[in-house]
Amino acid sequence: MKILPLLIALAVLTSCTTIHFRSNNSIPVTFEGNPAHKKEVNIVGHRPFYFWGIEPEEHEVFIDEEVRSAGHDSISKLIIYEHKDPTDILISFLTFGFYLPRGFTITGFTSGNSLPDELDDELKARP
């Protein structure tokens, strides 16, 4: 019976949660400033991990898709924060690590222009 706590401790110590942030170039995304971008935006998202972070091994977040789904046509001065909210920590604790939500915030500046109507309709039609 002493082996079960050892296995759990080993799984907790060897697991990790990894979120890779990428771009597929569907809209302009840059870390540099753009003089036309004056409106600051914050886009918050979450990705779930299970079994002490073992499953899935990693998540891919496409920045431009997150920005498009928020209704913006481009973003500059991009900053990405990964965070654990107090509620995420509480959920992880209450589920003994079986469910580990991880959050991220994409911060940057946009022109304030929204997407064209046909692109907006396309995004709404996606599951």
- One digit per residue, the tens of pLDDT, for the chain of length 127 reads 577 665 555 555 455 778 888 888 888 888 888 888 888 899 998 888 888 777 777 788 888 888 888 888 888 889 999 888 888 889 888 988 888 888 899 999 988 766 555 554 554 555 4
Report the C-alpha gap between 60 and 48 in whole angstroms: 12
For the entire predicted model, the pTM comes to: 0.70
Q: Is 77 left (phi over 0), alpha (psi -120 to 50) or beta?
A: left
Q: Which residue range(s) make up the domain with 49? A: 3-125
For the chain, the domain total comes to: 1
Report the C-alpha gap between 103 and 108 in whole angstroms: 17
Residue 9: per-residue pLDDT:
58
Residue 6: per-residue pLDDT:
58
Is omega for the bond preceding 56 within 30 degrees of 0, making it cis? Answer: yes
